[in-house]
Amino acid sequence: MNAHRSVLARTVSTPALLILLLLAIALVAKLFGSGPFERTVTELFIRIVLVVGLYIFIGNSGVMSFGHVGFMCLGAYGTAWLTIPPAMKKFALTGLPDFILQHQAPIALSLVLSPLLAAVFALLIGRILMRLAGIAASIATFAMLAVINTVYSNWETVTGATSSVVGIPMKTGVWLSFGGALFAVIVGYGYGISRYGLALRSARDEAIAAAASGVDIERQRLIAFVISAFVIGVAGVLYAHFLGVVNPDAFYLNLTFISLAMLVVGGMNSLSGAVIGVVAISAMIEILRALEKGIPVGEAMLAIPNGVQEIAIGIAMIVILIFRPSGLMRNRELRWSRWPFERTSENK
Amino acid sequence: MTAILQIVFDALSLGSIYALGALGIALIFGVMRLVNFAHGDYISFCVFAMLVPSTDAMSEMFLGSLPTVVLVPVILLIGAGVSVLSEIVVFRRLRDANPATMMIASFALGFILKHFLLMLFSSRPKSINLWPDLSLPVEILGARLPLLQLIAIGITIIILVALSAFLKQTRFGLEMRAAAENFTMARMLGVKANRVILIAFAISGMLAASIGLLLAAQTGTADIQMGVSVMLVAFIATVIGGLGSLAGAVVAGYLIGAASVLMQVILPLEARPFRDAFVYAAVIACLIWRPQGLFAPKSAKQRV
């Protein structure tokens, strides 16, 4: 069957379908949505950037990482340092270098520089961590997250310690976050079909055979680690400009686990799985939240008790994993091989 | 001298908690390659089982008002019960799934337990008054130590000795060690998979319950987050000790406890808030030095 698919269908259809799906969500939010719904969709897109970033490393390398949310923290604080107006920075973050204290960068610049900070950090620490494999690597990435969290929670003059850093311009709306998701999907897919992505996946499936065929596993992992750090750094920047405040504990265990859960529920070995997982779990959360607030049934309001929402999410995740252990997408990509990609007998 | 003694006992009592936690995680990992993230929530569950559900800051004892001789076995049973139940309801159905899927399922289970407790008790930490007589200090060689610290250390040693006797001397213990070594081979030689796994879960749950009791008595508070922080360190200890090695998990638990206490003393004052960063950096260094763990069992060695 594969032989009949055109090359175009195989390379373009997956990202195209995913982008169309995201575009549809963005349009629905813009055309019909209210303010709160737009915020929900913005948050959804930011989560997609994060989870696709996770997929770039975890999905392709097969190494579970508990540390990537740390890069989101770096990105978010990076943009806080760059974009908070100097008048506010002077008092809150006295430890910053003078040049940064006196200037304010536009978000466009920060969207490049702050993720770059995360990527450079990933390059430095990745050279050490990528020597490890399997569960030792997972623990080491978690230790990295814990180090980042401890430093950011205590470095009073530069990060404001555990108190929130305020005054970040709130610029992230539906379209900016959609742009972020677009970027993540394209980078994720482009990396996946590049020689580096193929080499890393071969190492994931058969490490010994890959190494024997000349794949430098450590190097390939490092490349994926740095790219995913950059993408997740973008998620951090968008998130900071979405909320307007950053706080180190926003980027710790809760976010780590919920983003990993989205990845695994969707199916951690495919890009489509990463995107579908975020959409599915976010949709479930929103529906249950709406139920918690109550829906009018005739005269009365029918509402589920507070706290049931989280429990129901947990149960739903377990049920999905029991029936689909390899995730909703079963590790496959969304594909479209009919019009306009179909190969008819004339052009054979 | 007394200062050193104080440090030694601090390290031992903190290490005891970590060691018990690491043992509980390593037992489950040994038999079914599951990293059980719900373990921390078992601990919290056992602590909160002692209280009457309410959202006030002051807590009223529920099971906690039972006399100690009854209370301890009841809490241990609750721990074992939660743990066994989670195996029957959730993990049994995921036997063939890959480790990442099982891990996320265990996280989802922990999430459910945590939010169940949040619904009943709210997120506010509560004071809990368990065995107040035991917090009186006693003097040993000039150092004033809370009696409770000594009891915690003693109880941990008793548990470790009893568990190692169970593993070495009884048939179930033998089966469990065989299963940890090579599960497929053990099954072929007549070890019943479900029974071994159930026993492992029961013991692991009881270990969680004993941590819960010790923590509640030591800190005097019941906090929903208390189990998770222990679980994370315990999880790290199992990996540093060498996955699959129970003795390694215990030793690594004590090592991390000792490292935390020592760094608190050694680090210069301005670096002290960053203590955890140093501890975790040491964890990374340790993993780079010995990726397979300090006491890796032979079965864990990569052959190629």
List chain B domain ranges. Answer: 2-300
Residue B5 CB: number of other CB atoms within 10 A? 15
Partner residue opposite B104 with nearest CB, options A132, A264, A315: A264
- Classify residue A163: in a domain, yes or no: yes
Task: Identify the three-state secondary structure at position A303.
Answer: coil
Residue A274 lies in a domain: no
CA dihedral A272, A277, A283, A284 (to 10 degrees): 150
| Phi, psi for B144 (deg, rounded to 5) | -95, 115
Compute the C-alpha angle A219/A224/A226, nearest 5°.
95
Containing structural domain, residue A79: 2-252
What does the pLDDT average to over B227-239?
89
Average pLDDT over residues B224-232: 88
Is A272 part of a structural domain of the chain?
A: no
Cβ distance A318 to B118 less than 8 Å, yes or no, reads no
CA neighbor of B11 nearest in space, from B135, B164, B217, B152: B152
Q: What is the pLDDT of residue A1?
A: 45
B97 and A321 within 8 Å at the Cβ level: the answer is yes
Residue A295: the pLDDT is 77
Q: How far apart are CA A262 and CA B236, in angstroms?
A: 24
pLDDT at B304: 52
Asked if the structure places residue A345 within a domain, the reply is no
**What pLDDT score was predicted for residue B120?**
87
pTM above 0.80, yes or no: yes
According to the model, what pLDDT value does residue A346 have?
Answer: 47
Other CB atoms within a 10 A radius of the CB of residue B102 amount to 24
Q: What's the number of CA atoms in the CB half-sphere (13 Å) around residue B304?
A: 7
With CB atoms and an 8 Å threshold, state whether A314 touches B274. Answer: no
Contact A140 B284 (CB under 8 A): yes
User: Concatenated DSSP letters for A206-255?
Assistant: -HHHHHHTT--HHHHHHHHHHHHHHHHHHHHHHHHHHHSEE-GGGGSHHH
- Could you tell me where the beta strands, DSSP code E, fall in B141-197? 143-146
The answer, yes or no, to whether residue B271 has pLDDT greater than 60, is yes
Which residues of A have a CB under 8 Å from any CB of B? 64, 128-129, 131-133, 135-136, 139-140, 142-144, 146-147, 150-151, 154, 208, 253, 257, 260-261, 264-265, 268, 305-308, 310-311, 313-315, 317-318, 321-322, 325-327
**At A333, which amino acid appears?**
E
Which residues in A lie closer than 8 A to residue B95 (C-beta atoms)? Answer: none
Contacts of B116 in chain A (CB under 8 A): 307, 311
Rounded to whole angstroms, the Cα distance separating B125 from B107 reads: 22
**Which ipTM was obtained for this model?**
0.86
Residues of A in contact with B111 (CB under 8 A): 257, 310, 313-314, 317
Residue A327 belongs to a domain: no
- Who among A128, A311, A325 is closest to B101 (CB)? A325
Q: What are phi and psi of B57, to 5 degrees?
A: -75, -35
Taking CB atoms and an 8 Å limit, are A325 and B94 in contact across chains?
A: yes
With CB atoms and an 8 Å threshold, state whether B115 touches A132: no
Instruction: Judge contact between B285 and B256, C-beta under 8 A.
Output: no
CB count within 10 Å of CB B144 equals 11
Does residue A336 sit within a domain?
no
Write out the two tokens for B59. Answer: 């807590």
B138 pLDDT higher than 90: no
Phi and psi at residue B58, to the nearest 5°: -85, 140
Q: A135 CB contacts (<8 Å, ≥6 apart)? A: A64, B35, B239, B243
Residue A48 forms part of a structural domain:
yes
Q: Write the CB contacts of B269 (distance below 8 Å, at least 6 apart in sequence).
A: none
Compare all CA atoms of chain B with the CA of A65 and give the residue at the minimum distance. B100
Are A326 and B277 a contacting pair at CB < 8 A?
Answer: no
The percentage of residues in chain B with a pLDDT greater than 90, rounded to a whole number, is 42
**Residue B300: its pLDDT value, please?**
57
The whole-angstrom distance between A120's CA and the closest CA on chain B is 19
Can the peptide bond before residue A340 be classed as cis, meaning omega within 30 degrees of 0?
yes
What is the per-residue pLDDT for A344?
A: 55
Indicate yes or no: CB of B104 within 8 angstroms of CB of A265. yes
Closest chain B CA to residue A263: B104
Residue A15 CA: distances (Å) to CA of A184, A196, A286: 10, 18, 25
* CA A175 – CA A170 distance, rounded (Å): 13
Q: What is the CATH number of domain B2-300?
A: 1.10.3470
Average pLDDT score, chain B: 87
Average pLDDT value for residue range B51-55: 77
Chain B environment of A64 (Cβ under 8 Å): 100, 103
Please give the residue that has the higher pLDDT: either A290 or B205.
B205
Band of residue B83 on the pLDDT scale cut at 50, 70, 90: very high
Minimum-distance CB partner of A136 among B105, B119, B239: B239
pLDDT per position in chain A (348 positions), as tens? 444 556 766 778 889 999 999 999 999 998 887 888 899 999 999 999 999 999 999 999 999 999 999 999 999 999 999 999 988 888 888 888 888 888 899 999 999 999 999 999 999 999 999 998 888 898 899 999 999 999 999 988 888 888 888 889 998 989 999 999 999 999 999 999 999 999 999 999 999 999 999 999 999 999 999 999 999 999 999 999 999 999 999 999 889 989 999 999 999 999 999 999 999 999 999 898 888 887 777 777 777 777 788 898 899 889 999 999 888 888 888 887 776 666 654 444
What burial letters (b/e) apply to A133-171, b meaning 16+ CB within 10 Å? bbbbbbbbbbbbbbbbbbbbbbbeebbbeeebbebbbee
A233 and A144 Cβ atoms separated by less than 8 Å: no
Shortest Cα–Cα distance, A281 to chain B (Å):
12
Burial class (CB in 10 A: 0-12, 13-18, 19+), A341: middle
Q: Do A139 and B283 touch (CB under 8 A)?
A: yes
A348 lies in a domain?
A: no
